[in-house]
């Protein structure tokens, strides 16, 4: 029996795309990620956004913040994103992503991977200090903070690299990213 044209088209699905937004705590990953998500959602209703802190809680918050535990956590995020991409879902994932090996794994194992690095100088992050992380490290009340006592392996070849140091508004920085992604405004 011949298959109907609509059945054939249903079997052929396109993979989604992963927008991996990375930078240190306070860099603006989630804010910028939400802007990317809003713009994408207009074109692709099958778009989701993940924030590293929310993902950590969703997975049960069973891992700490040491380098080894952060690596395990990051690989969870990558594998979840790959699963969704393969289902035709576009994913915006906002995470510190301190390991080059995780980003390399993403490039090698996730079709349609786009890496966006948001750079902010440490002195600006310390002034923003949104989660009080940087002041807590200085006072000695916390440890295992990426960029302070845990080394960040800087992205070597991100698809997009922007500086969000306050010289431009977040809207301007987001506009630069959306232009490079060739996505309409939010």
Q: In terms of residue numbers, what domain contains 76?
A: 14-181
Asked, for residue 24, whether it belongs to a domain, the answer is yes
Collapsed DSSP state (helix, strand, coil) of residue 17 = coil
Model pTM? Answer: 0.85
Structurally, how many domains does the chain consist of? 1
pLDDT classification of 57: cutoffs 50, 70, 90: confident
Asked, for residue 1, whether it belongs to a domain, the answer is no
Asked, for residue 8, whether it belongs to a domain, the answer is no
Residue indicated by tokens 């011949």: 2
Residue bearing the bigger pLDDT, 35 or 184 = 35
pLDDT value at residue 9? 44
Residue closest to 173 by CA, chosen among 34, 17, 20: 34
Residue closest to 25 by CA, chosen among 49, 52, 62, 55: 52
Angle at 184 between CA 178 and CA 186, to 5 degrees: 80
E strands, 15-57, in order: 18-22, 47-51
Residue bearing the bigger pLDDT, 69 or 82 = 82
pLDDT value at residue 7? 45
CATH number of the domain at 140, please.
Answer: 3.40.50.300
pLDDT classification of 29: cutoffs 50, 70, 90: very high
Which residues carry out catalysis?
Answer: 97
Asked, for residue 31, whether it belongs to a domain, the answer is yes
Asked, for residue 7, whether it belongs to a domain, the answer is no
The Cα 172–Cα 182 span in angstroms is 15
């Amino acid at each position: 029996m011949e298959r109907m044209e609509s059945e054939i088209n249903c079997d052929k699905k396109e993979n989604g795309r992963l927008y991996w937004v990375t930078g240190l705590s306070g860099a603006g990953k989630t804010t910028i990620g939400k802007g990317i998500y809003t713009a994408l959602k207009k074109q692709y209703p099958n778009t989701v956004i993940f924030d590293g802190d929310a993902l950590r809680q969703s997975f049960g918050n069973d891992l700490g913040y040491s380098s080894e535990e952060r690596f395990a956590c990051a690989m969870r995020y990558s594998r979840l994103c790959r699963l969704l991409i393969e289902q035709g879902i576009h994913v915006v994932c906002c995470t510190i992503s301190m390991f080059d090996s995780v980003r390399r794994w993403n490039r090698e194992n996730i079709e349609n991977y786009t890496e966006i690095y948001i750079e902010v100088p440490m002195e600006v992050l310390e002034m923003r200090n949104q989660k009080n992380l940087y002041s807590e490290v200085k006072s000695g009340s916390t440890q295992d903070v990426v960029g302070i006592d845990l080394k960040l392996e800087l992205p070597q070849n991100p698809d997009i690299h922007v500086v969000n140091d306050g010289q431009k508004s977040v809207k301007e920085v987001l506009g630069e990213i959306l232009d490079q992604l060739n996505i309409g405004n939010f």
